[in-house]
């Protein structure tokens, strides 16, 4: 029987199962989206073993020679050692493919990495002008199954050198550096719990992108987006009833109605954006005895940018 070695895991592949099937069956978290060889979300790197040719269909020469493969198209015939792409964590050049002023203080930036990267909407990455700078953190709001480029929203920060550069000088064709893609505040297709995704202020676009990701994956339980703040410029394709705008003062009362609904009683709460409402709702949920593993808060602090 073929085996997959992945970090410390040694996993038996059932006949006909892909590497992705095997990893997910054993609760090993790796990104994926289409399961059809189209989106390249599931790219992994083989460090040893025979790579089935069909798992490299559609990859370029450089990717093939680096041992990259699509886990959803890979049915191992013998032992295969796999790892996630290291480059998602290391600095890589990206080319700016577009900038759009959404409001005077909000800019949409799209960029294309030199090589494909694994990510999910809601995860964050660092951007910088130079390879060795620490970089500023931003949340990804692009959907890998729909958009070839990566996309973020940038808030103009008073005294923020990098955000000022993006607003005032960045142009299509310029090179930036990306690194450290990661984070748990995203849709995880293997988890089919009901979802409540809360976006406050600069977290609105990420909340909408995560909900669209869930919908695209045919999430089997209920999913609701709650938003507080200015939603101008935040486009989405979700149904009207799945997105609710809430006044800051009505946050807890609204959350309470979801807690008392049988549809959402066991929901997983993903909370992103402005620190004050995110922390307030997080501690209120804790007081309602919601298990900590069902609350995923990600607060964006001013001056310590993790902002779209």
Positions touching ligand FES (CB under 6 A) are: 32-35, 37-42, 70, 72
- Bin 156: left if φ > 0, else alpha if -120 < ψ < 50, else beta: beta
Contact 130, 186 (CB under 8 A): no
Provide, rounded to whole angstroms, the least separation between the CB of residue 103 and ligand FES.
34
In this structure, the strands spanning 9-12 and 3-6 are: antiparallel
Nearer to ligand FES, 44 or 209 (CB): 44
Q: What crossing angle do the helices spanning 251-259 and 275-287 adopt, rounded to 10°?
A: 40
Provide, rounded to whole angstroms, the least separation between the CB of residue 131 and ligand FES.
29
Nearer to ligand FES, 23 or 106 (CB): 23
Nearer to ligand FES, 35 or 268 (CB): 35
Nearer to ligand FES, 122 or 160 (CB): 122
Nearer to ligand FES, 4 or 72 (CB): 72
Nearer to ligand FES, 145 or 284 (CB): 145
Provide, rounded to whole angstroms, the least separation between the CB of residue 34 and ligand FES.
4
Provide, rounded to whole angstroms, the least separation between the CB of residue 18 and ligand FES.
9
DSSP per residue, 121-177? BTBEEEEESSTTS--EEEE----TTT-SSEEEEEE--TT-HHHHHHHHT--TT-EEE
- The HSE-up count of residue 80 (CA atoms within 13 Å, CB side) is 28
Of all residues in the shown chain, the one whose CB is closest to ligand FES is: 72
CA angle, 188 as apex, 142 and 31 as ends, to 5°? 65
CA angle, 88 as apex, 82 and 90 as ends, to 5°? 115
Provide, rounded to whole angstroms, the least separation between the CB of residue 59 and ligand FES.
10
Nearer to ligand FES, 67 or 233 (CB): 67
Contact 68, 44 (CB under 8 A): yes
Provide, rounded to whole angstroms, the least separation between the CB of residue 113 and ligand FES.
16
The number of residues making up the chain comes to: 308
Q: Give the separation between CA 188 and CA 119, rounded to whole angstroms.
A: 11
Contact 269, 285 (CB under 8 A): yes
Helix or strand run (H / E) with residue 207: helix 204-216
Residues 6+ apart with CB under 8 A from 91: 128, 131, 132, 177, 178, 179
Nearer to ligand FES, 80 or 251 (CB): 80
Provide, rounded to whole angstroms, the least separation between the CB of residue 7 and ligand FES.
20
Provide, rounded to whole angstroms, the least separation between the CB of residue 114 and ligand FES.
19
């Amino acid at each position: 029987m073929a085996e997959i070695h992945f970090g410390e895991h040694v996993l038996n592949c059932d006949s006909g199962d892909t590497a992705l099937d095997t990893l997910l069956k054993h609760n090993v978290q790796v990104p994926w989206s289409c399961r059809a060889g189209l989106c390249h979300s599931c790219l992994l790197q083989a460090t040893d073993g025979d790579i089935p040719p069909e798992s490299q269909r559609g990859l370029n020469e450089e990717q093939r020679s680096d041992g990259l493969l699509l886990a959803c198209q890979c049915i191992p015939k013998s032992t295969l050692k796999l790892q996630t792409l290291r480059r998602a964590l290391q600095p890589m050049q990206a080319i700016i493919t577009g900038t759009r002023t959404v409001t005077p203080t909000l800019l949409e930036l799209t960029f294309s990495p030199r090589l494909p990267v694994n990510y999910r909407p809601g995860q964050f990455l660092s951007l910088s002008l130079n390879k060795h700078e620490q970089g500023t953190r931003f949340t990804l709001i692009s959907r890998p199954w729909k958009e070839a480029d990566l996309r973020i929203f940038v808030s103009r920060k008073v005294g923020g050198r990098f955000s000022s550069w993006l607003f005032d000088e960045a142009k299509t064709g310029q090179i930036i550096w990306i690194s450290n893609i990661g984070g748990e505040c995203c849709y995880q297709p293997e988890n089919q719990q009901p979802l409540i995704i809360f976006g406050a202020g600069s977290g609105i676009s990420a909340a909408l992108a995560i909900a669209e990701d869930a919908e695209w994956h045919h999430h089997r339980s209920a999913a609701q987006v709650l938003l507080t703040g200015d939603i101008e410029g935040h486009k989405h394709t979700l149904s009207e009833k799945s997105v609710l705008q809430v006044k800051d003062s009505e946050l807890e009362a609204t959350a309470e109605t979801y807690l008392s609904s049988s549809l959402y009683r066991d929901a997983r709460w993903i909370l992103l954006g402005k620190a004050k409402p995110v922390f307030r709702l997080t501690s209120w949920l804790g007081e309602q005895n919601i298990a900590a593993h069902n609350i995923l808060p990600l607060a964006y602090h001013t001056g310590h940018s993790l902002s779209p």
